[in-house]
Structure 1
Amino acid sequence: MPEQPLRGRHYRTLQPIEVRVAEGMIRAIQPVADQAALPLIAPGLVDLQVNGYAAIDFNHFPFSVDEVAQVTRELWRQGVTTFMPTVITADSDVIEQAVKTLAEACEEHPEVARAVCGIHLEGPFLSPEDGPRGAHPRAHIKAPDAQLFRRWQAAAGGRITLLTLSPEWPTAPDFIRTLTAMGVVVSLGHTAATPEQIITAVEAGARMSTHLGNGAHLQLPRHPNYIWQQLAQDELACALIADGDHLPLSVLKVCMRVKGEQAFLVSDVTRFAGMAAGVYDAPIGGRVRLSENGRLAMAEQPQLLAGSAKGLFHGVNHLVHHALAPLPQALEMASIRPARQMGLPSQQGLNIGAPADLILLTPSNTHGLTLTATWKAGRKVWG
């Protein structure tokens, strides 16, 4: 609990306010006299797709429970107060060990338990085709298997709450119904599915699209295709990577216009965030190249990306800098909207009764937003 209330300008209204916090919750929000140097106050960011950070990889062993805590602290420096560690396609035993380690981190580190809202399993039930498969290893792609998923869920202590799959498998509809009944959110991604298969998946309970526009063939039929069909499904929310590499501005703009409140940001950030440019060997994509401007791609196929090296806060600034969204909307696309998709308490945003997960920001006409402090559950954790 902070000794003093937080003072700043409401990110929506720009009015000066005082936020009082008790027991990790926002208890009061009151107007205060205008002060020239007050920062903006906004909800903490929520990232549903974090593969790793700062040389720590959730898909490469050994990683430890202490390293999960280290990633949590690194994300606080980026304004991310809630996140989903993401485990991708791998050998079945490797996936089991990864989700088990993440669960143990939540049990042993209270700050991890507060920050991790669930585990995102991205694969291995994806398309085996080159292009849609992206950097996921072909050898471990397989058809949806409920028994195998239950084994992983047991190892994770029930913490797998989001799963990305391709609906092109014949067993996908029944599998989606099974997971939906278990309370797991099913998202479509890395797919070469037909429009009919996407419609059937939605009818079975799929509710999201994972990084729409990526994990796709380099060339598609004009129409129909699986990107148009996902955009046309009103039931599907749309995760977008706005790092400047994954999607052109025009595609971001169209997706945001079509999906409205259902469009939100993820980072797909990897362990290469914060590392020097160069060529690296990685479990995601094998040999990858990190360019000077932060673009992460497969070294032998540079047209194929291998995740991102830019955090979620960069995506917010990208939208604002290119006038794709006003500042309040850009911030909510990285906080309230993803929280809403997973049914998290932080979807209440900057309101009385919401968790006191907050960030302080300084806007600039030349450099965009600068993060100055991060608060998690009413405690200042960075800045």
Structure 2
Amino acid sequence: MQAQGMTLYVNGKIYTGSDIYENGQMLVDEDGKIIDISHEQLNSTNINVIDLRGKIVVPGFVDVHIHGGNGYEVMGGTEKDLDETSKFHASHGTTSFLPSTAAASNDDLIRVLKNCAASFENGVSGAELLGVHLEGPYINEKARGAMDIEQIRLPDLTEMERFIKASENTIRLVTLAPEIEGGLELVEYLNEQGVTVSIGHSYASYEEMKKAVEHGVRHTTHHFNGMRGLHHRDPGVAGTGLMLEELTLELIADGIHVHPAVVKFMYQAKGADKICAITDAVKSTGLLDGEYDDVQVMNGKIFLKEHPDTLAGSSLTMINGLHNVLQYTGLPLEKVLPSFTIVPAKKANVVNRKGSIERGKDADFLILDEDFNLVSTFVKGKKVYEKRCQPC
């Protein structure tokens, strides 16, 4: 006998992450878990049935690098900031995310981490909050980008312990520069805590990169940006990241942070299962062109007002990132999806319940039209966004 509250989605083209179900069916229980996916008719007795009318179903996007959006920011330090950020990104295809910090004082970071822990416990209205991405403050000032130079400092294990405690053990990802004094010791400590360590805002050499990987680094932050670039006599962070198979590379596929031709090259060199699509979205993402605090937004490009050559995050959303990668690479949807789903789920340590449409996993999925435009977003079986119908 079927339990009450179940929903059966029929007549959809379902991309599970490993298979494609033409005219597929998906059964979701009242707790927001996927019960079954099939090519064949599932039992629909006493079940709510939704006809997808041939629309596409894909796993929800996981974004491990979000600073804010729609006028709200993680460093704002309130639960409302996080809730509004989660709703905004859900409306653009993100079903779960890591709010990302920036280099700041100890007191400010403690305050933000405590707030993230509270939102993690209480839940948010849109995309699920999975934990925290601590970006900085232990970075190299030579590659600081838009980070506040006054708040950059050397690694401090005691301070990191306080950060982890303030977050109630919800820090999932840390961006640091392993070449600075104390960097490798911090990498080892974080690995012991089960935290994914990413090289970012780093000026490491090829040799320093290899050593960092030997100590457990497995990820790079917004690859090609905020790092020592590729030169034929000095591979730097950018070149070494492409070479070492242990590393997964974050990608901001907005055509601004990374040239479209280089995006295509990244997929040729690494493959989708070693690329982690992110937005690096900030407070002004989703807002009109103009000035916001210390940044200027112009034609989708966000840069520091006082330093126009310095990018300060992106205005990208995950659904637009998907469209861009498809266009830049010429790859089919199923070859690109891992970068937006299973890869970031692994980096956030939630692959047991996120990143693919599988029995027993959370019913985090998107419904797309034939042009891959977002129709609706579901988090744990609950619809958190639906595109408004345009007047006829």
- TM normalised by structure 1 equals 0.90
For residue 273 of structure 1, what is the aligned residue in structure 2? Answer: 285
What SS does the corresponding residue of 2:377 show, helix, strand or coil? Answer: strand
Alignment of 1:204-283 (within 5 A): 204-216=215-227, 222-260=233-271, 261-281=273-293
Which of 68, 74, 96 pairs up with 1:52?
Answer: 68
Which of 189, 192, 205 pairs up with 1:181?
Answer: 192
For residue 47 of structure 2, what is the aligned residue in structure 1? Answer: none
TM-superposed CA distance for 1:95, in Å, is 0.8
For residue 323 of structure 2, what is the aligned residue in structure 1? Answer: 317
What SS does the corresponding residue of 2:370 show, helix, strand or coil? Answer: strand
For residue 357 of structure 1, what is the aligned residue in structure 2? Answer: 364
For residue 28 of structure 1, what is the aligned residue in structure 2? Answer: 36
Alignment of 1:291-302 (within 5 A): 291=298, 293-302=299-308
**Distance between the aligned counterparts of 2:308 and 2:191, measured in 1?**
37
Matched, 1:163 2:185: no
Q: Deviations over 1:66-112 (max 9, x none)?
A: 33122212222111111000001011111111111111122233657
Matched, 1:43 2:46: no
TM-superposed CA distance for 1:116, in Å, is 1.4
Matched, 1:375 2:355: no
**Distance between the aligned counterparts of 1:266 and 1:304, measured in 2?**
19
For residue 79 of structure 2, what is the aligned residue in structure 1? Answer: 65
- Aligned 8 A contact 1:127 1:191 in 2: yes
Matched residue type, 1:334: F
What SS does the corresponding residue of 1:47 show, helix, strand or coil? Answer: strand
Seen in structure 2, the aligned counterparts of structure 1 residues 244 and 280 have a Cα distance that, compared at 3 Å, is: same
Q: How many residues align?
A: 367
For residue 127 of structure 1, what is the aligned residue in structure 2? Answer: 140
Matched residue type, 2:13: R
For residue 48 of structure 2, what is the aligned residue in structure 1? Answer: none
**Distance between the aligned counterparts of 1:119 and 1:154, measured in 2?**
12
What SS does the corresponding residue of 1:70 show, helix, strand or coil? Answer: helix
For residue 307 of structure 1, what is the aligned residue in structure 2? Answer: 313
- Aligned 8 A contact 2:73 2:85 in 1: no
Which of 95, 101, 119 pairs up with 1:87?
Answer: 101
Matched residue type, 1:17: G
Q: Deviations over 1:170-217 (max 9, x none)?
A: 311111111100111110011111212111111111110111100136
**Distance between the aligned counterparts of 1:150 and 1:250, measured in 2?**
42
- Aligned 8 A contact 1:66 1:105 in 2: no
Of residues 169-178 and 46-55 in structure 1, the stretch that sits farther from structure 2 once superposed is 169-178
Structure 2: gaps of 5 or more residues? 42-50, 387-392
**Distance between the aligned counterparts of 1:88 and 1:355, measured in 2?**
30
- TM normalised by structure 2 equals 0.88
For residue 284 of structure 1, what is the aligned residue in structure 2? Answer: none
For residue 334 of structure 2, what is the aligned residue in structure 1? Answer: 328
What SS does the corresponding residue of 2:145 show, helix, strand or coil? Answer: coil
Q: Deviations over 1:103-136 (max 9, x none)?
A: 1122233657x8111100000011111xx11000
What SS does the corresponding residue of 2:194 show, helix, strand or coil? Answer: coil
For residue 25 of structure 2, what is the aligned residue in structure 1? Answer: 18
For residue 120 of structure 2, what is the aligned residue in structure 1? Answer: 106
What SS does the corresponding residue of 1:257 show, helix, strand or coil? Answer: helix
**Distance between the aligned counterparts of 2:230 and 2:145, measured in 1?**
14
Structure 1: gaps of 5 or more residues? 282-286
Matched residue type, 2:358: N
- Aligned 8 A contact 2:13 2:55 in 1: yes
- Aligned 8 A contact 1:336 1:346 in 2: no
For residue 115 of structure 1, what is the aligned residue in structure 2? Answer: 128
